[in-house]
Structures are given as C-alpha cells and as structure tokens.
Amino acid sequence: MVLVYIDHQDNQIKKSTLEAISYGAAVAAQLGTEVHGLLLGTVTEDISTLGQYNLKNIYQISDASLSNFDAQVFVKTIAAAATKVGATTLVFSHNQTGKALSAGVSALLKAGLVTGAIALPNTSAGFVVKKSVFSGKAFANVSITTAVKIIAISPNSYKVVGGAATTATTTPLEITVTPGQVKITALNKTSGEISLTEADIVVSGGRGLKGPENWGILLDLAKELGAATACSRPVGDAHWRPHHEHVGQTGVQVAPNLYIAIGISGAIQHLAGVNRSKTIVVINKDPEAPFFKAADYGIVGDAFEVVPKLTEAIKKMKASA
Amino acid sequence: MKILVCISKTPDTTAKIAFTDGAKKFDEAGVQWIINPYDEWYALVRAIELKEKDPSVIIHLLTVGLADAEPIIRKALALGGDEAIRVNADSSDSYYVAAQIAAVANTEKYDLIFTGKETIDYNGASVGGMLAAILDTPYLSLVTSYSIEGNTSTITREIEGGEEVLTVNSTVVVSCQKGVAEQRIPNMRGIMAARTKPLKVLEPSTADTLTSIESFELPAPKAGVKLVSADNVEELVKLLHEEAKAI
Ligand SMILES: Cc1cc2nc3c(=O)[nH]c(=O)nc-3n(C[C@H](O)[C@H](O)[C@H](O)COP(=O)(O)OP(=O)(O)OC[C@H]3O[C@@H](n4cnc5c(N)ncnc54)[C@H](O)[C@@H]3O)c2cc1C
Ligand SMILES: Nc1ncnc2c1ncn2[C@@H]1O[C@H](COP(=O)(O)O)[C@@H](O)[C@H]1O
C-alpha cells in the first residue's frame, strides 16, 4: 500500500499535499496497489473530498498531543502508523513539513529515502527515483534498496490530478503517542504573501534595482500576476528584502512555471536555485548579462522603464481576456 | 556545554558539473572542495559565537569521509572549534552517515548538535532528521535563529508561509540555514592554531546503507533566448500568454 502524509496548516490542506496525493495515486497505480492518506491531528475541512485525487481512504490519528507540531513526536507516530497499516511506499511533499519528517521516518523504519524527487519511480528493474542534485544543475537516479520505500516529492514537480468522482473514507487509527519536549511559543505568519516554494509565478529582483525603496515596481508586477517575490543573495544580505526571499544555491530553490528575473546578473549560484523553472524571463540593461543564456525570453532594457510598462500590458491583456 | 557541528565537503559553487564512468560518477577533475556553506556560514559560526560568549563551551567538528575530506575539516578548525573527528568512511548514503554520527554522539554525549540545512551537492536535507531519530532527540529543521539561556534553547524555524518560535530543554539536533549567523573569514591566528588542534580519525561502526546512486543526468540545454524589444512589452505578454502559456 502507498501511504501519503497529509500535511495541513490552519485547517487547510496545501497545494503541495495535493501534489503528493496525486503522485502517490500514480505510484500506487504503477505498483498495482491502493493509495491511502495519513492525517495527524484534525482539520475542519471536509477531507472526504480528497477522494477526487484518487485517494481511497484516510487514516486519522486525532490524539490531543498532535495539535502542536513536534517533529520527534510526529516521526514516531508516522513510523508506527506506517507499520500498523502495512505501508510499503510512503510519500511526503518535500516542503518545510516534509523536510522535518521524512528523514526521521526513514531512519526509524530503515526505509530508503529519496528527497527532492521530481518524477515517478522507475520500477522496471528495482525502484529508482529521479531527484534534483547540485541545486538543480543535474539529476541523480537513486535506487532504493530496502523493502519499504519513502519518496519526498519536490513542490511544483508533479501536477495535481483531480476530478475523480469518488470520496475518501476516514478510518480512525489508534497509535500511542508519546508527548514531546518542544513548546511552541509564537507563530509569525508572513500573512498575505504567497509561499515562494509553492508559487506558480515568481518575480525576483537583484542589485540592479539599486535599493529597497525601488521595490514598488516589482511588487506591483507580482501583485498583478499573483506571484510570489524573491531576490538574489546580495539583496537579502543587504536587508533590502527579508532573507527568506533569497533564492539560489545557498537560498531557497524554486521551480515555478514562470520566473521573472529583474536586474539580476545570473551568477551560477543564483541560476542553481532557479533553473528548474519552466519559463524564465530576464530583464536586464546589460545585453551581456549571463542570465540571458539561461532564459527563454528576455528584454534588454532599464528595469525602471520596462517593469511598469510590463505591469500595464498585463493589466490590459487581462482586461481584454 | 558540549556542541557537535557536522561538517560536510562539497564542490565549490562555481564547479563545473560533469560526470564520468558512464554518468555513474561525479567528475572531480579540477574541482575545488569547500565546506558545505550551510555548515560553515551558519552552523559552525553560531557554535563559535556561543563559545565566545561562554568560554566553557566545547566544540567538536565531525565529518564522515575518506582522507580527501581532511583539508575541509582542517579548514573548519581554522574558523574555530576545539577538536575534530573524521569517521573514515564513504559518505554516499545519508542513513549510513547519520548512523556514524549517532555512534560518535552516543559516546561523546553532546548537549547540542548542529547540522546544515542540506548539502549543496546531493541536496538530501536528511542527515539531521535521521540523526535525531536515531538518537531519539527533538529535531528542529530549517532553523533561522538559535539561542540558549541556562538549559533552555530558544529556536526560530521556518514553516510554510512563516516562522515558528519554540523552546526546548533537552539535547536537540538543529539544522541551520540563513539567519542563524553571518559568514566569517578565517584569520591567520585561527589557521595557525588549527595546526595544533587534535584531529581524531575513527573507523566506521557497522551500519546499513538504504540507497545507492545509479546514474546522473544533465538537464537538456535551453533552446536559446527570444529577445523582445524594450519598446514592445506587449509582444512579451503575448508570448508568455500564447506560446509559453505561463500567464
Ligand atoms: C558560495 C557562494 C554562494 C552563493 N549563493 C548565492 C545564492 O544562493 N543566490 C544568489 O543570488 N547569489 C549567490 N551568490 C552570489 C552570486 O555569486 C552573485 O554575486 C549574485 O547572485 C549577484 O546578485 P545580483 O545579480 O543581484 O547582482 P549583480 O551581479 O550586481 O547584478 C546586477 C545586475 O543588474 C543589472 N542592472 C543594473 N541596473 C539595471 C537596471 N536599471 N535595469 C535592469 N538591469 C540592471 C546589471 O546589468 C547586472 O547584471 C553566492 C556566491 C558564493 C560565492
Ligand atoms: N559526510 C558527512 N559528514 C558529516 N556531516 C554530514 C555529512 N553529510 C551531511 N552532513 C550534515 O548533514 C547536513 C545535511 O546533509 P544532507 O542530508 O546530506 O543534505 C549537512 O549540512 C551536514 O551538516
């Protein structure tokens, strides 16, 4: 059985989880087995609707000590649940929650793990999963050599496949949960912002924008596109933008549908974090900027003139659509 | 307080990524090796800061790697830390590496273990979580700030769409990323001092490997950029809408 970890936050099932469910369903179909979900804690959302992603059933552990996230507690609970229901393949999203959990479950179950997977496993001979390595500069085909297997699928790498006319059942699962040692004292939401790793479109700015006071044009474009915002490392280092927006080899790695780079030169360390983006647009006043070599579309020009015009043109297109 | 900082070796960020042996091996020809940036800039520097505040702090640096990892752990010692340990083993499977670190931690009894968020070559983001699970300690991933007062660690970690602040009173494994500290440059005094600091080499304990790399691939090259005139942004919007179907 394929078991997908159902991540939730503020009573909501995130897009990255829907991708993981769709991926898990495809893995199950490939292996000729069933796909189930595993939900720790409770959500107000009607989870039976997850059936539309071909999820058959959701095992739910609603112990009170699972209402606050503690990786140590969650890892033990998931490992125990996986063993109890007889899961042979576990699927996580390689999002923030997945990064806290999948490795621990792998160690407890001694189940081989591939994180940052970007495609379905190849099961023609063994069980080989393709993952992104060297921060997106290459891929590795990794063979899992244990009986139980764990895959953490990269956000934005597998399409959500919905629309099945079925509902998922819920089965309560009894697992003894040992309370943890971590006390959460505050939650700081970057409210209203679109999560960078989940975003379909990312608008990113570099040193070419000259200073934080000039970010308005970029924010306007991002708003018009419903995009998340990002920046190059020097911009984060100079505190022009918050450090969680820094993308690249030593920052966040993103793979959106569309990445728009404004006033970024395209250093190899920057490209490493963004070159899995489907379409890359570069706006730079220097025709020799290395980023153009990695781009699909480019405009050689001054960002301060081009970006506001672009925002206007998108507005117009939307109005006429 | 006794702190362990886990140090891994990665190719320099500008290294050419190529493969040999029928795409089975990373081509190391001409590659410069560095300390994994997350381990150096954030984990190690934060540990050094804690020692600067409280000189009774002891810092151990640990790498799992063959003899070619030695210059890297020496370089880390030049930044700071009291002694280094190299477990003499291949480091290609995350679980195997975590099991080696756990074996050392079980004898040395650390109060705090720092790892980097991930290595920039294999991007596993796994060793810290595996280590915590083996040791049965709390695991704090994607940490952006760490401080300690008495026995209580206060930690900020990244969650989807924000941050979470928490406290914990036990030994913890913390995976460090940007925010935890600021990158430092090693100075001459540190480099000289590192020469006399102990570097212990341990033989590996028995542990399983759970995965193996079959082969590598390079991404398909881009077709080439389509340039649009700065006076005709409408053309770009049209291309993005109709050709790329991106907006
Ligand atoms: C170990 C290591 C790790 C690193 N990791 C990262 C990482 O993760 N992410 C990252 O981003 N960097 C990283 N870097 C830094 C990287 O090497 C570059 O220095 C950095 O990406 C450059 O940022 P930038 O493009 O914003 O600035 P610059 O290189 O200064 O480029 C600015 C660009 O703006 C253009 N420009 C100027 N004015 C205008 C205008 N009016 N309109 C349009 N364009 C304009 C210029 O032509 C230029 O191309 C790393 C470096 C090292 C050594
Ligand atoms: N061979 C190794 N020796 C010591 N520590 C390691 C090794 N590999 C990984 N680590 C630590 O674990 C972190 C995460 O690595 P990874 O799971 O490989 O992405 C790194 O930032 C290091 O702190």
Look up the CATH number of the domain holding residue A210.
3.40.50.1220
The dotted CATH code for B2-216 is 3.40.50.620
Among A79, A89, A72, CA closest to A30: A89
In a mutational test of the A interface, the residue from B42, B210, B243 whose CB has the highest number of chain A CBs within 10 Å is B210
CA distance A50 to chain B (A): 21
- One domain, residues A168 and A205: no
Which residues share a beta bridge with A133? Answer: A138
Domains of chain B, residue spans: 2-216
User: Is residue B43 a contact partner of residue B6, using CB atoms and an 8 Å limit?
Assistant: yes
pLDDT at residue A192 tops 70? no
Tell me: pLDDT of A221 over 70: yes
Residues from chain B that touch A268, judged by Cβ atoms under 8 A, are: 13-14
Please indicate, yes or no, whether residues A167 and A304 belong to a single structural domain of this protein. no
- Complex ipTM value: 0.94
- Give the 3-state secondary structure of B27-61: CCCCCCEEECHHHHHHHHHHHHHHHHHCCCCEEEE
Is A108 part of a structural domain of the chain? yes
Percent over 90 (pLDDT), chain A: 90
CATH of the domain at A35: 3.40.50.620
Same domain for A223 and A288, yes or no, is: yes
Position A6: which residue type?
I
How many structural domains comprise chain A? 2
Residue A191 has pLDDT above 70, yes or no: no
Q: Is the per-residue pLDDT at A71 higher than 80?
A: yes
The reply to whether A7 and A123 lie within a common domain is yes
| Domain assignment of residue A47, yes or no | yes
- A9 neighbourhood in chain B, CB within 8 Å: 159-161
User: Ligand 1 atom closest to Cα of A234?
Assistant: 23
Residues A117 and A213 in one domain: no
Both A152 and A13 in one domain: the answer is: yes
One domain for residues A41 and A155: yes
Q: Do A159 and A209 share a domain, yes or no?
A: no
Split at pLDDT 50, 70, 90, the class of A12 is confident
Task: Output the DSSP codes for A145-183.
Answer: -SSSEEEEEPTTSS------S---EEEE--------S-E
Best residue among B8, B90, B95, B134 to mutate for probing ligand 2's pocket (most ligand atoms within 8 Å of CB) is B8
Q: Is A180 a domain residue?
A: no
* A208 and A159 belong to one structural domain: no
Mean pLDDT score, A192-199: 82
**Residue A189, domain member (yes or no):** no
- Whether residue A233 sits in one domain with residue A138: no
Among the bound ligands, name the one nearest to the CA of residue B5: 2
d(CA B35, CA B239): 43
pLDDT in tens, B73-131: 999 999 999 999 999 999 999 999 999 999 999 999 999 999 999 999 999 999 999 99
Q: How far is B131 from chain A (nearest CA, A)?
A: 8
- What is the distance in angstroms between the Cα of B198 and the nearest Cα belonging to chain A? 30
Best of A297, A311, A317, A320 to disrupt the B interface (most B CBs within 10 Å) is A297
On whether residue A12 sits in a domain, the answer given is: yes
For residue B28, CA distances in Å to A132, A264, B25, B142 come to 19, 30, 9, 29
CB atoms within 10 A of CB A257: 16
Whether B80 is in the pocket of ligand 2, judged by its Cβ within 6 Å, is no
Show residues of chain B in contact with A143, CB under 8 Å: 211-214
Rounded to whole angstroms, the Cα distance separating B86 from B202 reads 6
CA–CA dist A113, A111 (Å, integer): 6
- Taking the CA of B119 as reference, the closest ligand is 2
**Residue B202 φ then ψ, to 5°:** -110, 145
Q: Are residues A163 and A209 in the same domain?
A: no
Contact B212 A145 (CB under 8 A): yes
Question: In chain B, which residues have pLDDT < 70?
Answer: none
CB atoms within 10 A of CB A29: 14
* A156 and A73 within one domain: yes
pLDDT above 70: residue A248: yes
Range of the domain at A106: 2-172
